[in-house]
């Protein structure tokens, strides 16, 4: 038996391997990751890890987990090609491996900046633990930091470095922060909070080039012509899915490897899960590619069940969190298609939730420091309950009544 090969040992790949064993799958499972590390949690990298000089990786599973579950974990191996005809994987450094089932859990990588100076030392993006180590090291010696991109990762790092005494400027091309993922009330609130902290936020602006000396970055020049001194430039302008292996094998790709409601690509034995997978979402009927731990682990669980002989379809409720300074942001549902919203709680107290509706139907809740709203939202949506405005206005106790 050749079993299942999993490419990528991040959140999705590791969960797939674990869930295969939990589902009683007893054929070989090989987990291939290109980093030379035990698989670790990514979210802390932009939060606690860069704050604390002593922090090490938070492992996804204990060191012994792989061997004791008969998961053949192969770190430091880079898959270079999928040979579809012979159902084999090729590697840069090793002999090919054959598979019965293949799971693509290759994740995504930071989008590169295409301006002059983007290759200077001190211009970094954050995806892997090596990047976080570099940021931690460089930020110690940097008084001025420029963050390109006002998305979650950029803002988390901006808040952390400002709190550590750096002079931080954030440059965002769109006219508001977090525009790709949350609606205006949250973006506005985050912006106000940053202004209070003394982080400079430039929206509707880009960098036209980066300046350096002896190969090290020294300044960012904005599209308005301003020169911002910077010894460290963080590039947080989004990610692109790692679809090249699939593409080259002729597996359908459209903003990610296309999968059906069971995480199957157009080739029945090949699955895709996590940041690399794009699919029609059961909640909105729209094509999405989500970048969250929830999406990675829930899709992995489902793919594993299907491989082990199950027949369910994907029905997990999407949710996400981000810690930006003293704001714990939590999102549940998807706000695409929302046309009206309601705010509950107090913006001034840094504690409120925005409930988004498409017509009368609740589609998403975005919370700042209101974890109870978030958890209740997750429970309701998982139970297929989408309250209307009146019920939301009656408060959490009234909504809990729905669940009873």
Q: Under the rule (CB under 6 A), what is the footprint of ligand FAD?
A: 7-13, 32-35, 42-43, 45-46, 78-79, 105-107, 126-127, 153, 242, 245, 274-276, 291-294, 296, 320-322
Q: Report residue 140: phi and psi, to 5°.
A: -60, -35
Check: CB of residue 212 under 8 Å from CB of residue 117. Answer: yes
Supply the minimum distance, in Å, between the C-beta of residue 206 and ligand FAD. Answer: 22
**287 pairs with which residues across the strands?**
280
Check: CB of residue 380 under 8 Å from CB of residue 387. Answer: yes
Pick 91 or 342: Cβ nearer ligand FAD = 91
Supply the minimum distance, in Å, between the C-beta of residue 80 and ligand FAD. Answer: 7
Pick 264 or 389: Cβ nearer ligand FAD = 264
Supply the minimum distance, in Å, between the C-beta of residue 276 and ligand FAD. Answer: 6
- Closest-CB residue for ligand FAD? 10
- Measured CA to CA, the distance from residue 162 to residue 194 in angstroms comes to 9
Pick 58 or 167: Cβ nearer ligand FAD = 58
Check: CB of residue 337 under 8 Å from CB of residue 284. Answer: yes
Supply the minimum distance, in Å, between the C-beta of residue 402 and ligand FAD. Answer: 26
Pick 307 or 392: Cβ nearer ligand FAD = 307
Residue 121 CA to its chain's centroid (Å): 25
Number of Cβ atoms within 10 Å of the Cβ of 385: 14
Any idea what the Cα angle at residue 105 is, between residues 85 and 277, rounded to 5°? 90
Pick 151 or 387: Cβ nearer ligand FAD = 151
Pick 12 or 380: Cβ nearer ligand FAD = 12
Supply the minimum distance, in Å, between the C-beta of residue 151 and ligand FAD. Answer: 10
Q: Report residue 95: phi and psi, to 5°.
A: -70, 155
User: Between the CA atoms of 123, 118, 106 and 43, what dihedral angle is there, to the nearest 10 degrees?
Assistant: 30
Q: What 3-state DSSP class applies to 157?
A: helix
Pick 79 or 207: Cβ nearer ligand FAD = 79
- Measured CA to CA, the distance from residue 276 to residue 13 in angstroms comes to 11
- Measured CA to CA, the distance from residue 15 to residue 227 in angstroms comes to 45
Supply the minimum distance, in Å, between the C-beta of residue 64 and ligand FAD. Answer: 20
Query: Beta strand 319-324 with 327-333: parallel, antiparallel or unpaired?
Result: antiparallel
Supply the minimum distance, in Å, between the C-beta of residue 146 and ligand FAD. Answer: 18
């Amino acid at each position: 038996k050749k079993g299942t090969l999993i490419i990528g040992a991040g959140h999705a790949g590791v969960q797939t391997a674990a869930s295969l064993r939990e589902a009683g799958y007893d054929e070989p499972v090989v987990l291939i990751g290109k980093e030379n590390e035990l698989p670790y949690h990514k979210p802390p990298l932009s939060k606690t890890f860069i704050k604390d000089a002593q922090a090490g990786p938070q492992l996804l599973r204990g060191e012994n987990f792989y061997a004791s579950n008969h998961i053949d974990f192969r770190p430091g191996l880079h898959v270079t090609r999928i040979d579809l005809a012979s159902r084999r994987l090729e590697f840069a450094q090793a002999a090919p491996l054959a598979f019965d089932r293949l799971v693509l859990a290759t994740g995504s990588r930071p989008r590169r900046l295409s301006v002059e100076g983007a290759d200077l030392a001190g211009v970094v993006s954050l995806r892997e633990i090596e990047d976080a180590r570099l940021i931690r090291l460089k930020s110690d010696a940097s008084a001025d930091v420029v963050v390109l991109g006002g998305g979650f990762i950029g803002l988390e790092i901006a808040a952390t470095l400002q709190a550590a005494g750096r002079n931080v400027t954030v440059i965002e091309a769109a006219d508001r922060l977090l525009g790709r993922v949350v609606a205006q009330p949250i973006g506005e609130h985050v912006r106000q909070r940053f202004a209070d902290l003394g982080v400079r936020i430039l929206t509707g602006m880009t960098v036209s080039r980066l300046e350096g000396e002896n190969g090290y970055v020294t300044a960012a020049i904005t599209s308005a012509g301003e020169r911002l001194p910077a010894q460290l430039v963080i590039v947080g302008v989004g990610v692109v899915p790692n679809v090249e292996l699939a593409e080259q094998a002729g597996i359908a790709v459209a903003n990610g490897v296309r999968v059906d409601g069971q995480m199957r690509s157009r080739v029945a034995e090949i699955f895709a899960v996590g940041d690399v997978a794009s699919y029609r979402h059961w909640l909105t009927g729209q094509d999405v590619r989500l970048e969250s731990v929830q999406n990675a682990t829930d899709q992995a669980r489902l793919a594993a069940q299907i491989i082990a002989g199950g027949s369910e379809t994907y029905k997990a409720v999407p949710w996400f969190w981000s810690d930006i300074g003293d704001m714990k942001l939590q999102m549940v549902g998807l706000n695409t298609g929302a046309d009206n919203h309601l705010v509950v709680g107090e913006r001034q107290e840094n504690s409120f939730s925005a409930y988004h509706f498409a017509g009368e139907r609740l589609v998403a809740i975005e919370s700042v420091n209101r974890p109870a709203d978030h958890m209740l939202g997750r429970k309701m949506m998982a139970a297929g309950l989408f309250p209307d405005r009146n019920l939301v206005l009656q408060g959490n106790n009234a909504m809990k009544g729905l669940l009873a």
